[in-house]
Structure formats: C-alpha cells, structure tokens
Amino acid sequence: MTLDRIAEKVRAGERLDIEDGVVLFTTKDLLRVGVLANEVRERMHGDRTYFNRNMHINTTNVCYASCMFCSFARLEEGKPGAYTMSLDEAWGRLRAQDGNFLSEIHIVNGLHTGLPFDYYEELLRGLKRIRPEIHLKCFTAVEIHFFAEKFGMSYRQVLERLRAAGLDSLPGGGAEIFAARYRKKVCADKVDAEGWLQVHREWHRMGGKSNATMLYGMIETPEERADHLLRLRALQDETGGLQTFIPLAFHNEGNPLRKLPEPTGFDNLRVYAASRLLLDNVPHIKAYWIMVGEKIAQVAQSFGVDDVDGTVLEERIYHMAGAETPQGLTRKELVRLIKDAGRVPVERDTLYNVIWEEGQSVPERYSGVGANAGAIHLPVAS
Amino acid sequence: MTDKRLYSERTKRTRTADDDRAARQDARVKRLSAVMYLNARPLYHGISQGIGGGRFSLVTAPPAECARMLVEGEVDAGLVPVAALARDGLYRVVPGVAVGCRGPVGSVVVHSERPIEELTDVVLDSSSRTSVVLLRLLLRRRLGREPRYVSMAPERLGEQVAGTTGALVIGDESMRLRGRFPFEWDLGGAWFEWTGLPFVFAVWAARAADLTETDVALLAESARRGEAALAEIAGGDPDKLRYLREQVRYALGAEEAAGLQRFFDLASDAGLLPEHRVSFFGERPRRRSSLDGLLGKAAAGERLSADDAVRLGEEASLFDLGAAADAVRCRKHGDAVVTYIIDRNINYTNVCVTACRFCAFFRPVGHAEGYTLSRETLAEKTRTLVEAGGIQILLQGGLNPDLPIEWYEDLFHWFKTEFPTVAMHALSPEEILYIARITGITLERTLERLHAAGLDSVPGGGAEVLVDRIRRQIAPLKCTSDEWLEVMRVAHRMGLRSSATMMFGSGETLLDRVQHFLKVRDLQDETGGFTAFISWDYQHDKGTRVVPGETGSHVYLRTQALSRLVLDNVPSIQSSWVTQGPGVGQAALRFGANDFGSVMFEENVVSAAGTTFCMDEAMIRRHIEASGFRPVRRNMRYELLA
C-alpha cells in the first residue's frame, strides 16, 4: 500500500483499511498526508474551526489504577499531592466563574474507591442548580465501568442515574490503545476495549453523544493505532453517537515512563491527518491545544483538525505530566489562534450548535465579564 | 422587470463609485521619482517647468532608489531603470517616451586598460541594476565570459581600473572618464551589434491604478517639451548637447518596445531577471498566467518577480507552497540530510540605546538590570560549549555606548587566543554601525579592524523588515534598510560570510515581506555572501509594544516556503524552531528549510518576550530523524562535517 493508492481511495470516497492505516502512521511524506487530510477536512467543514468556552474540573486524583503514563493520579488519600474536593469546593469552582459565559463543564476523575455514588450524582445536581443551562460532559467510560462494578449496577443503570442527575454527554478519555497486549502492559487496571466500547454503545442507544480518544506515543505499534481507529469507526457505523475524535500525545514527566521520548510534532501532525482519513464517519477531529501547544494546534488545522477545544480555565492532567502550555486561554486568544491559521472561528456548544461565528454580532446574554466584550450569542438548535 | 431595474440600478451605482474613484485619483497630487542623470532630464523637463499645474511633485534620485520608492509606495510613478519592471512585475509603462539608445550611448561604458574579452574582474555601481544585468547578459551570452563582479560606490570606480580589472561606469561619471583609458566598451553599441535593436534604459512606470489617462498624456507631453529644450538642458555645454541630441533617444515606439521585450526575454533566459511581458498604459490588461503555472515555475527554481511572489503568498494553498518549496529544497540539498550546528548564543550586553518597540530584552543605559558579561563568564560559557563539541559562538548584544571598538578588538583577540577552534559569528549590522559611529571611523575601517581581530562572520539579525516605512514604526532608532544592506555588502566584499533574517508580523504587508526577500536577493546577486536565510514571526508578549500583525505558525510556514521560492540564490533556509517550537520546526523542513539551526544552551532575547524553546544535541537529532532526515553537523559556512 502506498500513499498513491490511499489518495485514490480517499478521492473516490472508498474506505481505508488497516494496511492503509499503517502506511499513514509511518509515512515520512508529511506534505502528501497533510494535503489529503486537508481535502477531507475542507470537504466536511470548509474553513470553519470550532472552539467552545469550557472549564475542566477534576474533583479527585485518588485512583486505584496505576496506569504507567499517568502523572495525575495518586493511589490513596493522604499520599503527597492527593486531593479530593468536597462537593462544595467543586461547586465553588463554577461559582467562581460568576459572570463568565461557559457552555460546558468537563469532569474526569480518578477511580476513587471511597466515594459513594451519591457524590457523583450530587456533584452534577449541584452544578445544574448553579447553572441550569450548562452542559455537563462528565466521566469517561473507564469511570462508568468502575461505578458499575463498585455499585453493582449495569452500565445502563449507571448512565440512567447520572443522566437523571444532570449528565449531558460523555468525554472520550480512557480509550488509550484498544489492543489487549498494550492494555495489559500499560493500563492493566482499566476496563478493556470491549467494555469501553460497550459503555459508549449503551450511551448512544440512550440518545447520548460522546467523544473518543487515543493515547499514542508509547509502546503501541502502527498496526495497533490503526486497529484502534477502525474499532471506533465500526462503533460509529453502528450508533453514529461519536462527535469528536481527540488524539492525545503521551507526555513523559512525573510518571514511570520518563525515559521514553515523547512523540514529536511531526508525529502529532501525522496522527491528526491519519485520524481524519481513517475515521471517515466521525464528524470532528480535535487538536487539544493544552497537549500539543498553540503552535502545533495552529498548523494542525491544515492537517485534518477542525476543533481546538476550548478555554479550559484550569487544566491539571497534562500539566502534571509536564505540559508547558498555559492552563487556559481566553476566548480572544482562541479566536486569534484560529484566525491566524487562516480559518474561520466558530464558537460551538458541546453538541456543535453554533453559538457564534466570525462576522456575526452578539446578543448581550452571553457576553459577560471577561468574555472579551461584545463577542457572543445564543445557541441555535441544529 | 424587477431584475432589469435592479440590474440598472446596480450598474449605475457602480459607475458612480468608479467615477468618484477616478475623480479622487485625478485630484490627488501625483508623486514622481526620476533618475537624476542628465540623460533623463528631458523626460521630466516639462514637469519641472510646471506642466499639469501643480498636479505632480517630483524627486530625483539614483536609479535603484527611484525603483525602491516606486515599489514601496513612496511615489505613484517613477522614471525607473527597466530592470525594475521585471523585478517587481507590478507596473505598466507610459508609452511613447523613454531613455534609450540605438547604438553607442556614451554613458554606459566599461572602461579598461585591456580589451573586454581579457577582463577577469569588473567593478560596478550596484545602484544601476539595468546596466549590470545588461553587462552580465552581454558577457555571458555574447562573449561567453564570466568575470568576477565587485560592486562599490560610483565615485571610486575609476580608481579601480588596472590590468584585467575594468569598471562599468554609468551616467555623468562615465562621461567624465571618457578618454581616460585605452578601452571603452559601450553597452548600447554592443547591444545593437548583437540584436540590431534599440536599447531602453529607463521608462515611466506605475501601477495601473495610479496614473490616469491625463497623467499619462502629461508625462508624454513633458518629454516632448524636454526634447525641444535640449540646448537649455545641456546648459551650453556642447559635449552634453551632442550627447543628448545624438546618442540618447527619447522615443518608445514599436522598435524600442521590441528591444525592451528582447532584453527581458534574453535576461530571463539567462536567469538574470524574472520572466516579464511589458505592458503599456492604454493597452488592454493582459491575462495573468494560471496559479498552477506560477507554482510550477517556482518549483522549477525560475526567478520570481515581486508580483509573482505576492500572488503566491495570497493565493497558493499552504500545501502548494510547501510542495514547491520542498522541490527547490530537494534540488539544492537533496532529500536526505538536514544540517545543524553546535554553537552558543551569548548576549554580551543588554544595555541598548535603541529602545525598539518589539523588544523585551534591552535595558536602557544606567538601568539597574543592565549588564555586560565579564571575560570569566564568557570563558565559562564557551568552555561548556567546547565540551559539548561546539564550534561557534553567536555573540550579539545591545548598542552599549560604553563599549568602543577597542573593547571588541581586545575581546576578539583574547577569545581567539583562548579558543582558537571556535568561530566568531558576531555583531549584527546594527551593532557594527554603532561601533563605527561611537568610534568615529568608517564602516569599512570598522569591519576591517573587527575582521583582523577575529570576526569570522556576521549574523543577519536586526533586519526586521527591510522596508523603512515599517522600520520607522517599530524601531525608529535602528539603521535604515540601505545601511543594513551596506554593512553586509562591505562584509561580503572582505570575504566575511553572513546570514540574513526577517522578523515579520509587525504590521507590514505581504508586498513588504516580498520586498525584503528581493533586497536580500539583489544583494546576493552582487556579493554571493549570504549563507542562509531565517525568518520568524514577531513574538509578542509581556514587554513588547508593537501591535502584532500577521503572526503564528501557519503564517510562519507560508512565509518560510515563500522565502525559499523567492531567494533562488541563497543556499540555505534555516528552520526557526526556537520561536516556533520543535514540532513546527520539524514541519518547516518540508516547507523549504534544510537546516535546523543550533543547539540552544540559552536564549535571552526571544525568551524575554515569553517564548522559550530549548533543545540539546540529542533532541535536535531525534527531531530531525523523526522527520525522515539524516542529521549532519555543519560549520559556520554551512559545510557538512562528517
């Protein structure tokens, strides 16, 4: 398989297979893989690049799992650096944003063996009490699986109770690399691939939307990367519930793999492009700027990426792994990051309803303190 | 019915807007620049006499300066040397009038002691690009000769003539030299013998929108009045009158136009000028070539005009620019190797009188945080470098009024004694000019003394954008573009090599960036002394005071690719990972760059504005390898080390 053959397939609208994936993940021909991914990206989204105004809250980093790549988790309460927020503290993070427009809260946590299920339900309820309209994108499939086991419920039961408490969609974390060989070595305590996919399947069947990720740059082979994406593509064929795929590059500080070199920017761009080409049925590819930095996030918008995540406000997970990016960007900075990449910024909500698009004026309601005066608007149902 | 009404309304509105624009255009005073030589005076005689009734303002200047004013928008029209038409590709020509000749012209002549065929060196005045191109073309294509060309100030050319060294002297100076040397090779005559056509030296040129029909008619009228007043213009000097009457021709008809086009065709074929089709005011605009055609031309390494480059910069996609730049890069350097050097950036002082608005590094004189490094510190830093296999230091600092040339001479002597294997890549043009000024000696003398003390090459920093309108905005106390270029010209003439840089994104236009590339390319045609070109975007953060224009990594990749395409005569393009981060630095290797800069032990200037990327040698090699290239160390001259 060569890039020529892949180009023919992409232009003819044919699906790529695992061998194509291996070529895409190993090619040194950055320009050609970029051109192809950019064609697909522009066919799907034109010049638009999406962002949102979100905040991250990680209410606990206590986690019984010991994944090798993780710099965030602490095994037990009381260990240095371990923390668990009280509900009031967690809600306080949102209250502190009084006057700032936010359309989404993103919550992922450690697998804490000592917290009751109530904690999670009440966490969501409390956030909705403070801002009923905010979208709660919380708990990875790994956490849902953990709740099901710990509290003796099915995935469906867990998801239904959380939805009743305010859950709006699922983030895509915890997927890592699906291959069993890899999970055994790197994250043996985590739910397996089938479990991860099943949680998302159940959620999609309930009408929910979710994201998916891939953590790359450790011991996985190019085949395993391609296999990972094709399994996601198969799930998407079945349910259509995935909105966005987010490739995540391994960072090596503060974890047992600090001698393993991190993927370079070249690899990051190639992964974005390959993902865009292999996942022909997932609408969005996101460059998480926290992880790759603003510079690559800009260039990535020509390598298949149409989303750069959001303002974030207080990132912890990648920063504990040595990320040198800011912990948050203002809306103005995000808009500039997109415009300087030659794209048209579009502010979205979690479900990709357009809140604002460059060139449109902005209703008062979403402007708010610190929102860079004059810049925002009403969600428009799609 | 409705449609028709809408249509007619729209047509009417449009016409009104056009009329307004034409009226405004007509009402504005037109700024003109014209070549200051005697032979050009008949063309603007009428204007000097006030035709148009205050419609025109006129400045006279040397040929290259007239062309510069036109491309940088300081004048609306210029009586410019014709090479500018091809270099810039932006103008139409006023028909009917020109400065030309049919046979010997008398004022564009190689003076020498030996016949033209025997010359090994020709000194020339770089301010007359058309004559220089004509000479090179004639020697290369007509006589099959490639002598060394050395440029210098026009008043010193005559002194250089000796043995097999001739001098191309133009204008009034050439007439003064008449009869001084045994051999005089008249370029007008040589051209006519070769082609049987007239040669056109200078024409009125302007962007299509900048001259109205009335303006064009008045410029033609001005020349007619000049032709009628040759005796007055010659000021009673019979030699001058004979010259103006018999040797210079002021017509630009079909035969002259054919000669002009022939010149462009031959010069582009010889790689001396971009391909160019002459276009006259009053003609229907010519259809532009396709973007794909232009990309193909760029990828093939053909010479691009300013217009070509602006068009690529505006219209070509990121990947089209990348692919074309990659093709050029691979042809020049192969597809396998990326070079890097182990050197160390040392900022010997942060005290600076310049106060550039984009700089977060400098401290004013007397400031508590001002420093000048001691020899102990310098030695320690250099020892660390040598232990890491380093072979060069990049020594740059502020403009510190307490450091005269003796300080640098002592420092360089000491340094070369202590570290004989380490190359001294030191002092940007701004610093060299400043040292000359506070010491009270000429630029030549300053460079000679620094060179003798151990200076090996000159870093190309402080170029920012080589357009004075921009420099005045962002760095009002810095040297002019011409001064910056002059330092490099003199340094190259002494055999010093240098790099050239550009910091963009501080409010300049795309044409300004292109003009920067072309100024570097023009000088490189003259001297061949530039080793590499490095560009980056303005890093704005704390402490910087210029409002950023087009910045970011996307624009960086586009700009770098464009620099590779325009700078056809500069060997290397360096990826600026220090400003762009290692990842974008890698991508840059497919957007025209063949060099990955150097190991960063420390960086103080860009990081003062918040940008900090550092890599050691292992990381540099890993990044080059991950991008599909073999990392190879190089030296200061960009020669590969095994």
Q: Are residues B513 and B533 in the same domain?
A: yes
Whether B314 maps to a domain, the answer reads no
Taking contacts as CB-CB distances below 8 angstroms, the residues of chain B near A34 are 319, 322
Residue B639 located in a structural domain: no
Residue B4 lies in a domain: no
- List pLDDT tens digits, range B472-492: 988 888 899 999 999 999 999
Tens digit of each residue's pLDDT (9 = 90 or more) over B512-531 = 999 999 999 999 999 999 99
Question: Of A233, A219, A217, A185, which is closest to residue A21 (Cα–Cα)?
Answer: A233
**pLDDT(B599) > 90:** no
pLDDT tens across B536-574, in order? 998 877 566 677 788 899 999 999 999 999 999 999 999
> What is the 8-class DSSP label of residue A352?
-
Find, in chain B, the residue whose alpha carbon is nearest to that of A33.
B319
| Residues β-bridged to residue B396 | B347
Please tell me which residue of chain A has the smallest CA distance to B580.
A295
- The helix or strand, by DSSP H or E, that contains position B108, with its residue range, turns out to be strand B108-112
CA dist., res. B530 & res. B510, Å (int): 23
Residues B599 and B570 in one domain: yes
Q: Is the pLDDT of residue A382 over 70?
A: no
Name the CA dihedral angle for B473, B478, B483, B487, rounded to a multiple of 10 degrees. Answer: -140
A331-355: per-residue pLDDT in tens?
Answer: 888 999 999 999 999 999 999 999 9
The confidence band for A312, taking pLDDT boundaries of 50, 70 and 90, is confident
Nearest Cα residue to B421 out of B391, B379, B385, B462: B391
What pLDDT does A369 receive? 32
B461 or B488: which leads in pLDDT: B488
Range of the domain at B71: 21-100+199-288
Residue entry with tokens 């420093």: B371
Residue at B559: amino acid letter: T
Of B319, B550, B585, the CB nearest to A34: B319
Instruction: Collect all residues of chain B within an 8 Å Cβ-Cβ radius of residue A332.
Output: none
Does residue A137 surpass a pLDDT of 80? yes
Does B264 reside within a domain? yes
B597 Rama class: left (phi>0) / alpha (psi -120 to 50) / beta: left
Which of A30, A264, A299 is the closest to B582 by Cβ? A264
Q: What is the pTM of this model?
A: 0.91
CB-CB under 8 Å, A31 with B322: yes
pLDDT at B542: 59
User: Using 50, 70 and 90 to split pLDDT, how confident is the model at B611?
Assistant: low
Helix (H, G, I), strand (E, B) or coil at B113: coil
Do B282 and B262 belong together in one domain?
A: yes
User: How many domains does chain B fold into?
Assistant: 3
Does residue B307 lie within any of the structural domains? Answer: no
Residues B68 and B151 in one domain: no
The answer to the question of residue B1 being in a domain is: no
pLDDT at position B543 = 61
Delimit the domains of chain A by residue range: 3-360
Cα distance between residue A149 and residue B320, in whole Å = 53
Please tell me the distance from the alpha carbon of residue B293 to that of residue B320, in angstroms, as a whole number: 12
Assign residue B518 the CATH number of its domain. Answer: 3.20.20.70
Residue B10 counted as domain residue: no
Percent of chain B surpassing pLDDT 70: 93
Q: CATH code at B173?
A: 3.40.190.10
Q: Nearest chain B residue to A299 by CA: give it.
A: B554
Chain B contacts of A300, Cβ < 8 Å? none
Q: Which of B551, B580, B586 comes nearest A264 by C-beta?
A: B586
CB-nearest partner of A268 from B557, B583, B622: B583
Rounded CA-CA distance B96/B351 in Å is 57
CATH class, range A3-360: alpha beta
Question: Which pLDDT value is given to residue B14?
Answer: 42
Asked if the C-beta of B590 comes within 8 angstroms of chain A's C-beta atoms, the answer is yes
Whether residue B595 sits in one domain with residue B548: yes
Q: What is the pLDDT of residue B4?
A: 36
Per CB-CB distance under 8 Å, the chain A contacts of B554 are 298-299, 301-302, 340-342
Query: Across all residues in chain B, what is the average pLDDT?
Result: 91
pLDDT at B27: 67
